[in-house]
Each structure stands twice: as C-alpha cells, then as structure tokens.
Amino acid sequence: MTSTRPTAVAGSFYPATARALTALLDDCFLTSPLGPRGTTQPNPAIIAGMVPHAGPIYSGPCAAHLYASLESSFQRIILLGVDHRATGAKAALSPWSRWRTPLGEVAVDDELSSYLQSRVKFLRRDEHAHAKEHSIEIQLPFLQRVLGDFQVVPISHSHLSVEECAELGTAIAEAYDTASAKNLKTLILASSDLSHYLSPRETEQLDQMALERVLALDPAGLIEIVEEKNITMCGVLPTAVMLYAANSLGAKHAHLLKHCHSGDVTAMQEVVGYASVAIEM
C-alpha cells in the first residue's frame, strides 16, 4: 500500500483547517462545560474504550473524557468503526497506507492489519467501507492531539453475527498481544453513538439499557438488548467486538466517564446520545 485516504468529512463534521480544528479541540478538552476541562489524569490501566463519533461540536466534549484519560505512550490504536451505509465488506481493513486529517497524516500498521486478515476469513481490505465514512476519521484528530506519533489499524463493521463479533474480537486480542510482545503499547477503541432522534427522556432510558451491558463487559447481552429494545446504537457491532477482545485480554472493569446527548449542546426535542467508557485491566 502506498496511497493516502483523503479526509471525507473535514469542512462538514469538523473544521477543514488545522487552526480551526485545534481551537475546537481546545474547547472540547479545556473549556466546554461537558468536557473534562483539563482535570483528568492519564489512567495507565486502560486497554480499550468506547467513544462517540458525531461532529465534535456535539460529541467532542464527551469523547474528550476518554482521550484525556489516555497515556501519551500508546503507539498502536486498533480503531473499530461502523459502516453506516453498509456498502463494503462486513469487516473491512484500510486499503490505504495513511489517513489524512487537517492536523497531518496517520500511518496504518500494515503488519498488524495483515496479521488480522490472515486470522479472520471475512476480514478484507475494502475501500467502499471507509471512503465516505466518518466514524473512524472523526477519532483521528483527538488521537493526534493526545498521542502525537502513532499508527492505526482501522476496521469498519456492518452485518456481523454474534459469533463473527466474537471471532474478530478474539483475533484482535491476539493482535494486541502480538504488538505488546514487540513493546508497542496498544489501545482497542470502538466508535459508537447511542440512541438517535428521540426525546431526551427516551434517550436516557434506552441509553442506560445499552450502557449497563457495556459496563458489565457483556457483548452478547449488548447485542441482545439493542435488538430487543430497538435501540438505535449505530456502533453496537464495533463495541461488541471491542468487548470480546477486552474480555479475551482479561479486562476487569469498565467505567462510564461521561454520558450526555446533543440537546445538552443545542436545545432540541430529538437528540442523539453519547458516552465515553474506559475498559481497564
């Protein structure tokens, strides 16, 4: 691979210039009443997490709670997103060697990607799953801010069964161990919003049902409750895969860092729910 993925949502989901994007990130981390406001200390026990992926003006302060908890020593990010359009492979690696944002380019770890592709028969490199998708791209500026130099393994998800989520999660745990054996500190990160376009009260009720399963480290239970209650959690599959991987690695705790919704930023009758969750050893 020698190509670079251009930005797909710079100028719409977030500012297209480095200066404006940096100012927006400053607000998410330092000044927004919904953000950590510079008070969060890095947590060395974190191995995985879940963050929202709306435009940073809405979900960025919530996401900043997780990002502010990360040590700057992470070198590899296995970044699990959702293919909202379901136009590509059901589990898709990046066909590009680098991803561009207004803050610069992020390298893809081709060796770790190839390892995963060799382990999971339904995982393949696919442009269509990633080209217009925002759920992975939106996380990169946050990671660039807190980590500086790192490599990423982007994986987009759609239409996976529970068994396939478990298979992919187990393979990701093995990839995590492979990277760790090379002294590459690795994070497994799922990108997901919660309930969509409901009243704040309905959003709170349904989000709590989903978050209870996430905090219990229960991926099968998460998929079950989302289907049973028709919870419009768009990243349920990447979150389930992340939880399967974390469980395989021996994760002990999950902590809710922040839960809010888009109506907390701009008054509206129908809102989208957001949460940041840290998974610890």
The model's pLDDT over 209-255, given as tens digits with 9 standing for 90+, comes to 999 999 999 999 999 999 999 999 999 999 999 999 999 999 999 99
How many Cβ atoms sit within 10 Å of the Cβ of residue 267?
Answer: 9
Q: Is 21 part of a structural domain of the chain?
A: no
Q: Is 3 part of a structural domain of the chain?
A: no
Domain holding 49: CATH number? Answer: 3.40.830.10
Mean pLDDT by 10 residues, the chain (281 residues): 88 98 98 96 97 98 98 98 95 98 98 97 97 98 96 97 98 97 97 98 98 98 98 98 98 98 96 98 95
| β-pairing verdict for 186-191 and 46-51 | parallel
Q: Is 193 part of a structural domain of the chain?
A: yes
Task: Say how many CA atoms lie within 13 Å of 193 toward its Cβ.
Answer: 23
Let me know how many helices (H) and strands (E) the chain has, helices first: 8, 12
Q: Which residues contact 210 (CB under 8 A, 6 or more apart)?
A: 194, 195, 222, 225, 226, 231, 233, 236
Domain that holds residue 231: 28-280
Q: Is 205 part of a structural domain of the chain?
A: yes
Q: Is 104 part of a structural domain of the chain?
A: yes
Q: Is 250 part of a structural domain of the chain?
A: yes
Phi-psi category of residue 192: left, alpha or beta, with phi > 0 → left and psi -120 to 50 → alpha:
beta
- In contact, 196 and 269? CB cutoff 8 Å: no
Q: Is 12 part of a structural domain of the chain?
A: no
pLDDT value for 2: 57
Among 87, 112, 95, smallest CA distance to 5 is for: 95
Q: Is 226 part of a structural domain of the chain?
A: yes
pLDDT value for 80: 98
Three-class SS state of 191: strand
Per the structure, the count of domains in the chain is: 1
Cα 248 → chain centroid: 19
Among 105, 81, 108, 104, smallest CA distance to 94 is for: 108
pLDDT value for 115: 97
What CA–CA distance (Å, rounded) separates 67 from 82? 19
Full-model pTM: 0.97
